[in-house]
Amino acid sequence: MDHDDLRDWSKRAADWAHGYHAGLRDRPVRAPLVPGAVLGTLPPEPPEVAEPMEAIFADFEALLPGITHWQHPRFFAYFPANAAPASMLAEQLANAIAAQGMIWQTSPALTELEQGMIRWLTQALGLPGEFTGTIHDSATTATLSAVLTMRERALDWKGLTEGLSGSPRLRLYASAETHSSVDKAARLAGVGQDNLVKVPTGSDLSMKPGALAGAIAADRAAGYLPIGVILCAGGTSVGAFDRMADCIAVAKAQGLPVHVDAAWAGSAMICPEFRGLWAGVEEADSIVFNPHKWLGAQFDCAVQFLRDPTPQVRTLGLRPAYLETAGREEIVNFNEWTVPLGRRFRALKLWFTLRAYGLEGLRARIRNHVAWAHDAADAIRDIPGISMITEPSLSLFTFSLNSDEATARLLERINNDGRIYLTPTRHGGRLVIRMQVGSFDCTRDDVLLAPKVIRDLMG
C-alpha cells in the first residue's frame, strides 16, 4: 500500500464510517461474542507475502460482531468515551501528519496548540487563570504523575536519585469512592497500596474532613510521612463528590498537596450551574479531567491542570544532551511534564471539537444528558420491584432489585437484549446496576427507551 492507495482507501473508510454510525441503532450495543471467537479466526502465523487490501478490509468488517459499540446512542455503561465527528476528523489529520511532540522543537505547533487548549479549558471550566497544564493519554497517568510528584516533594526530591529504601513509610489519603487508578498510582509510586489510607465518608459520600485530619495526625504520631491527598469529583461507581473546600482546607493546614480526580465530571463544569459540586477546587494543586469521556474529544485525551508545574517538572523532567534545544530556555518541552517521552498530537482534536460545536453546543448536550438521566431515573423508580439506590449525580444513578441474584439476572437479560447497555457496581454492600447518560448523539427517546426495556424484561 502506498500513499495513492491510501487516498482511495481513506475515502472508502470515510464512507464505511458514515454507514457504520448511521446504522448504530440497529446493532446490539454490547458485543455478544463468547471468549476466543475472534482469536480463533486468525491464522496462527503472520503473512510472509503482502495481502490485498480488499481482503484485509473484508476481514476488518468481519470483526464487527466482536465490537462493543461505544458510540452507540444507547451506550449507558461505564462512562462514555465520546468521539464527536469533528474530533474524528482531527484524529485523521493528526494521523496523516504523524508528528511527535516530545519537545517544542520536534513540532512547535503541537506544543503551542496544547498550551492554547489548556488556556481555553481553564476558562471553559471556570478555573483561575494561574492554572497551566498538559495533556496525558489517560487519567491514570495524570494521577500517577501527581502522586510521584507528591512523593518527591515530601522526600525533598531524594527518592529520584537515592531510591526509596531508608525513607519513612509514605502515606496517601483518599476516600473509598475514588477510582482504582489511585490505588494503582500508590502501587507504582512505591507508596504501597496498604499506605493509601481510605478515609471514611459521610452519608453524602464525601470524605469526612475531620476524619482526614485525624488520620493525618495519627500517622504523623506513628512516624509515617504523609505526602498528599486525592479528592474525587464524580466517582466512577456512583458519582460521589468530596467536599472540596473543606477537605482542601484540612490538607493545606497540614501542608499537603491536593490532586483532584474529575475524570468524568470535569466536562460538566463547562456549565456554570454544576460548578457548586466542586466548589473550592481552585485551591487544588492538580486536577485531572478526561475530555475523552464527556466532551467529545475522543480517546485518548486526559487534561491535567497544574497550579504550579515546577514540582512535577522537577519530578518527571530529564533533559539528556540529545534533547537539548540550544538557546531556547523560554520554551516548554511537554515530555518533562508527563511520564512517556513521545507525545501524540492530542490538542488538535480539542481544537476542532471546541470550535466545531462551541461551548454552547457542548453545554447543551451535557444539560440534556443530566435532564434526561433524571427523567429515566423517575421512570425506572416507578417500575414495581425496583429500588433506586443512588439518585442521579449529574447523569449517573444506580438501582437494584431485592437480591443480588435477581439484580444480576435482570442485568444479564438487559444486556443480552442488546437495545441498551448497562454495567454493574457495588454500593453499600449490594450489587447495583449503573446507568449513565452521556453518549454524544443520544436523544431523549434513546434514553427513555431504557425504562421501557427494563419494564419489558421484568415482565
Ligand X SMILES: *Cc1c(COP(=O)(O)O)cnc(C)c1O
Q: In the complex, what is the shortest distance from the CB of residue 389 to ligand X, in angstroms, rounded to a whole number?
A: 19
Phi-psi region of 258 (alpha: psi -120 to 50; beta: other; left: phi over 0): beta
Compare residues 175 and 407 and give the one whose CB is closer to ligand X: 175
Q: Does residue number 271 form part of the binding site for ligand X (CB under 6 A)?
A: no
Cα 97 from Cα 249, distance rounded (Å): 46
Pick the closest to residue 147 from 70, 34, 256 (CA basis). 256
Residues forming a β-bridge with 172: 196, 228
Helices 444-458 and 347-381, axial angle in degrees (round to 10):
40
Q: Which of residues 74-113 bind ligand X (CB under 6 A)?
A: 79
Determine the residue type at 240.
A
Positions 378 through 407 that interact with ligand X (CB under 6 A): none
Residue range at the interface with ligand X (CB under 6 A); choices 259-267, 374-382, 406-414, 424-432 = 259-267
70 vs 79, which CB is nearer to ligand X?
79
User: What is the per-residue binding string for ligand X in 176-215, x denoting contact by CB under 6 A?
Assistant: ---x-x----------------------------------
C-alpha cell belonging to residue 407: 439484580
Least Cβ distance, residue 432 to ligand X (angstroms) = 17
Query: Is there a contact between 438 and 395 (Cβ–Cβ < 8 Å)?
Result: yes
SS3 84: coil
Q: Where are the alpha helices (DSSP H) in 129-190?
A: 139-154, 159-162, 180-188
| Contact call for residue 261 and ligand X (CB under 6 A) | yes
- 242 counts as binding ligand X under rule CB under 6 A: no
Q: Which of residues 287-346 bind ligand X (CB under 6 A)?
A: 290, 302
Q: Show the beta-strand stretches assigned E in 164-239.
A: 170-175, 196-199, 225-232
Taking the complex as a whole, how short is the minimal distance between the CB of residue 275 and ligand X, in angstroms?
17
Answer yes or no: are the C-beta atoms of 174 and 182 closer than 8 Å: yes
Q: Which of residues 234 and 424 has its CB atom nearest to ligand X in the complex?
A: 234
Size of the site for ligand X (CB under 6 A): 14
Task: Enumerate residues 40-79 that contact ligand X by CB under 6 A.
Answer: 79
CB of 136 to ligand X, least distance (A): 8
- Region of 55-63, 132-140, 150-158, 400-408 interacting with ligand X (CB under 6 A): 132-140
* Contact between 286 and ligand X per CB under 6 A: no
Residues 6+ apart with CB under 8 A from 208: 199, 200, 201, 202
Strand partners, 61: none
Residue 139 in the binding site for ligand X (CB under 6 A): yes
Q: Give CA–CA dist 211/230, Å, rounded.
A: 14
Between 79 and 345, CB nearer to ligand X: 79
**Which one among 71, 111, 134, 140 touches ligand X, defined by CB under 6 A?**
140
User: Which residues in this chain contact ligand X in the complex, by CB under 6 A?
Assistant: 79, 138-140, 179, 181, 234-236, 261, 263-264, 290, 302
